[in-house]
Amino acid sequence: MGLAAAVLPAAESSRPRIGLVLGGGGARGLAHIGVLKALEDARVPIDCIVGTSIGALVAGGYAAGRTPEELIAESEKANWDDLLSSNLPRQSLSFRQKELDRVGNVPIELGLRDDGTIAFPRAAIGTQKVEYFLRELTYGGTVNNFNQLATPYRAIATDLETGEMVVLHDGDIVSAMRASMAVPGVFPPVPLEGQTLVDGGLSRNMGVDVARKLCADVVIAVDVASPPLKSSEIDNLFSVADQYTRLMILQNQRPQIASLRPGRDVLITPDLDKLSSSDFAKVKQLIERGEAAAQLQLPELERYALPAPAYRKWSLARQAKQLVPKPINEIQVAQLDYVNPDVLKGALDIAPGKPLDNAAFNDRLTKTYARGDFSQLDYELLDTSNGQLFRLTPVEKSWGPNYLNLGLALSTDFDTDNRYSLAARYRRTWINDLGGEWSSLLRLGDHTQFSTEFYQPLQLDGYAFVAPYFSIENQPVDIWLEGSKVAQYRYRKERAGLDVGSGYGKYGEVRLGFAFNDYRGARDIGFVPEDSSGDPADGDTGIRNGLENFGQKDWGVRLRIYYDQLDSLAFPTEGVLFNAQMYQSFGGQSDQGDFDTYSQASATLVKGFKLGDFGGHVKLHGVVQRGGGDNDVNDVQWLGGFMNLSSYGYQEIIGDSMAYGRVALYHPLSFLVPDSKVYVGGALEVGQLFDAVEESQDSLHTSVTAFVGMDTFLGPFYVAGAYGDNKKARFYVMLGNPY
């Protein structure tokens, strides 16, 4: 033991310095972690490490002091599908952001300039959640120069303006990692030191020359790049674009591989076969392939292995330089163009003189991000002589502050009902420093609608606001008798009012205000049969009395209480949605004669739940009206249509007041499509209309529905069938909600 200890320093100083080069390749780069594990098992020391794209992520974690075992644990517990998505959990979104969800918009947000031109986002996926992951991976620490890390480190990026390689060697390590993996068009570019940086694979997918310049006498390079597609696989626009990217990367990588010296440098090429750059869900398999590939190279690698005592000493020295968070002694915030900087105050509640509490800070940052004003909330941690400089760089949406969202919905019951809806929603945000917002919705189809509202907070947090609004809707209302359509009315509603209210962040809001309503109806086709006395069959007024035209105006006070913490509108598994509205008219006039004041109350409750492997929800909905006399023609209620007593035709049962409830269960078809959003399920529905048009329908009805559903990019898609107490089966194909 004494002789070995005496010889160890001389042996260690005389060995060649080894540089590890980790190439880019998307998810395939998770194989790098397996290579690191095999090198550790073989006692091969790494003196410096260079990474590109996903290689920069793995290399950065290792350089910060993570062991291969820790990298395996972190990568396996990561929810990669969630990390590589811009979408936050629905429950964390602000209430006003959830309103976009309820309209059924496609999740593509465009910008609309004042000159009418359309602006597009600079990237398909934000990296807000990726940044949280990288901060955890690097312990929330930093150094002045990457040579000071546990393993000296370089990340390779590309200058988007010039196309030149940029080797990142100092500053914030997470920013360097993000820049190296910022695939153009997929992830947002990273501005650093006056340059706009994107994925390093465009200029140097494998930085062998960078490793030699950094430290390497010997280079161990790991190639995980996707091979070129075969001609038979290039059969559409997307595969052509994919091949172009693959070839471009291979072109800059080949000279680097050619520079490796046989008998000295080592090239490791994991057998990744059909594993693609997007197979993040196969992390275990990828790591195993990397480890196996490195083990095949052991005859070449073992010449660089250290004796166990020397490797232990080397490893302990590396662990001693593991990154640690330092006290925050200075805070800087970049300037904003249109968002009031005071919205950042909650996120910047940072205690000076103490290390940043990453978990608590990320929670606060997420709340600010959920407002929807920013594409990124980046921050840097820069080393100072006695702590860290915290620099927050809020990135306002480059396509804002005026937004356009589009929506599409289609449905058929293969019988009498075929509907479509095209929707566009325009929002003009930050009209003033308090966050005034003008929002308008246009819907075309069987149901046409135009609505507009000016939402003016009286405080920046929205705890108090005023909101004048106007809306006009025009839709058909079908009259059914004995299971058949006999008439159709064109029913129009106009509303205007002024609300005062209070908002509660992501939870909901309360509104109270004056409202004016104008209801109009005109019969388009058909007739309402008369009974033996010559009166309209089973009806008395408005739509129900066979009039060609009718109308009513009234005014009063409306109260709305809305709470929304559902995790999904289409297939909820947790959370609650509650919406209650009450209206009391104080006056009005009717085209049919005397007007009597009336009151109306409605409530909707949806509760998501889990039952073993099943998800499900309970929905209760009711509308009660009192007063109004015999001549009222205000809001018409109906049952019928998908998930509204599905065995009945759309609007088959019409009345003034109603009660409806359902219980639905659904199970993901994960055995067919792993981690998919495809469900098979069913629902039991019950409902009753009171004072129904057809008197025989004024009773409790039931329906049983079975469906296959999918939560798609365009909205929920269903193929369904239903059977009920009307002894009829009805089938549906539906995308979104055209009603």
Strands 715-724 and 729-735, sheet pairing = antiparallel
pLDDT of residue 672: 59
pTM: 0.84
Give residue 633's Cα distance to chain centre. 42
pLDDT of residue 546: 56
How far is residue 133 from each of residues 140, 178, 382, 720, measured CA to CA in Å?
10, 11, 18, 40
Nearest Cα to 599, choosing from 621, 623, 580? 623
Is the Cα dihedral 247, 251, 253, 254 positive or negative? Answer: positive
Q: Which domains does the chain have, with CATH numbers?
A: 18-86+148-320 (3.40.1090.10), 327-396 (3.10.20.310), 402-528+546-735 (2.40.160.50)
pLDDT along the chain (739 residues), means of 10: 33 81 95 97 97 97 97 94 86 87 74 89 88 93 93 97 96 95 92 93 96 96 91 85 86 94 95 90 94 95 95 95 92 90 85 87 89 90 88 90 90 89 92 94 92 94 93 88 80 95 93 95 72 46 60 94 95 96 92 82 96 95 82 75 93 88 92 72 94 72 96 90 95 84
Nearest Cα to 18, choosing from 245, 318, 267, 219? 219
Instruction: Count Cα atoms within 13 angstroms, Cβ side, for 36.
Output: 32
Angle between helices 283-296 and 31-41 (to 10 degrees): 40
How far is residue 57 from each of residues 228, 265, 553, 558, 610, measured CA to CA in Å?
24, 23, 64, 55, 36
Give the integer Cα–Cα distance in Å for 126 and 123. Answer: 7
DSSP 202: G
Give the integer Cα–Cα distance in Å for 460 and 145. Answer: 40
Q: Is the peptide bond before 401 cis (omega within 30 degrees of 0)?
A: yes
DSSP secondary structure string for all residues of 708-724: EEEEETTEEEEEEEEEE
**Residues 313, 8 contacting (CB under 8 angstroms):** yes
**Beta bridge mates, 733:** 412, 719
**Rg over CA atoms, the chain:** 32
Q: Is 15 helix (H, G, I), strand (E, B) or coil?
A: coil
pLDDT of residue 1: 33
Which residues lie below 8 Å from residue 427, measured CB to CB, with a gap of 6+? 402, 403, 405, 437, 438, 439, 440
Q: CA triplet 89, 392, 128: central angle to 5 degrees? A: 25
pLDDT of residue 241: 82
Task: Report how far apart the first and last C-alpha atoms of the chain are (Å, whole number).
Answer: 83
pLDDT of residue 541: 43
